[in-house]
Amino acid sequence: MNELARVVSQFGLETLLQHIHTVIALVGSDGIVVSSNPACDGIKAMPPESSQFEDHLPPEEKSEFRRRLKLASENETSSRWIINLVTDGAGTQVGYDALILPAGDGLALLFAERIAVDPEVSRVIDTLNRRVKLFRIEFEQAKKLVLDKQTEVEAVIAQAEEISNIDALTFLPNRRQVIRRLQDEALRAQRYNSLFSVSVVDLDHFKSINDTYGHATGDDVLREVAMILRNNIRHPDLVGRYGGEEFLIILPNSPLEAASEQAARLCRQMRQSVIRVADQTIHITISIGSAQFRKDRDNWQTLLERADAAMYEAKKAGRDGWAASKI
């Protein structure tokens, strides 16, 4: 071996590098080919005609190449493995027996000798490669279908969740949703000592509307009342249908005075409104009771009970008005 090296060296390494078919490349730690022999030129000329050596490897082999390059350029560790290089524009992959050696100064010397295979074996390998490519395409399509279906299912679930929280008659938040919001506000007020009030709204003489005009007309009236309430509260407030002809208004960050002012305004607005259902003209009034959350004394249930009691006080006072909790 030493004698062979001595004789070859007489002719110069450049002559040797020009005539051998082994791919030899000096590669930086960033993967850029610093210098290479003619056997490497054909590979570098393939699309995307990049001097980044890993650009000529199949996607699944890039990370392994980077790992071995790092070992050689940073840790002075050599390694040997089988790699595939893309050798033409059609993406044909050819197996190479690769050896990577540390070359100092953050460089690595890469040798890649093409592995000779029987033509029949080569055809089998090409067929398998084409099947792998087809499988990858089908896999990506299937993955996209799964993601699309997942998005569709999530949208249906979100829609179902929204529907489950909406009152089917008035399209306001239903009892479950408004109670959940009431519980959240009570916990927040207790924890952060924030202001928080609620109002219970009840339609006056609603039974007589059902008895006189029928339940279908009564449902229409409830829808109109819901719209009036929703359109006449401020944005942070929430109005929901509590049950029957009762509605609940939640006023975050609001003292009892603000709830009382809102109640007076809603009573006036409802009194002045004319509800037309089919050929009927119906006048509606409401009674409202309001209460403010008391830290360390109230929970959501006691707050609601106090607002409800205030609403009945408004009823006793003649209806078409409001009352604030006195306790």
**What are 184-216's pLDDT values in tens digits?**
999 999 999 999 999 999 999 999 999 999 999
Q: Are residues 227 and 295 in the same domain?
A: yes
Give the CATH number of the domain where residue 250 resides. Answer: 3.30.70.270
In a domain, 186, yes or no: yes
The residue range of the domain holding 155 is 130-164
Q: Are residues 224 and 304 in the same domain?
A: yes
Q: How many domains is the chain partitioned into structurally?
A: 3
Cα–Cα dist 27/69, whole Å: 8
Whether the CB-CB separation of 286 and 320 falls below 8 Å is answered with yes
In a domain, 233, yes or no: yes
Side-chain-side CA neighbours of 182 within 13 Å: the count stands at: 31
Q: Are residues 6 and 55 in the same domain?
A: yes
List the chain residues with pLDDT less than 50.
none
pTM for this predicted structure: 0.56
* DSSP-derived 3-state class of residue 21: coil
Q: Are residues 160 and 203 in the same domain?
A: no
Q: Are residues 109 and 240 in the same domain?
A: no
310, two tokens: 């205030």
Q: Are residues 303 and 182 in the same domain?
A: yes
Q: Are residues 151 and 247 in the same domain?
A: no
Cβ-defined contacts of 36-45 (< 8 Å, 24+): 42/87, 43/85, 43/86, 43/87
Q: Are residues 49 and 89 in the same domain?
A: yes
In a domain, 46, yes or no: yes
Whether the CB-CB separation of 230 and 239 falls below 8 Å is answered with yes
In a domain, 122, yes or no: no
In a domain, 170, yes or no: no
In a domain, 306, yes or no: yes
312, two tokens: 């009945």
In a domain, 121, yes or no: no
Q: Are residues 109 and 41 in the same domain?
A: yes
Backbone angles phi, psi at 124, to 5 degrees: -60, -45
Give the CATH number of the domain where residue 67 resides. Answer: 3.30.450.20
Whether the CB-CB separation of 185 and 268 falls below 8 Å is answered with no
Q: What is the pLDDT of residue 115?
A: 81
In a domain, 264, yes or no: yes
Q: Are residues 218 and 290 in the same domain?
A: yes
Q: Are residues 267 and 205 in the same domain?
A: yes
Q: Are residues 135 and 193 in the same domain?
A: no
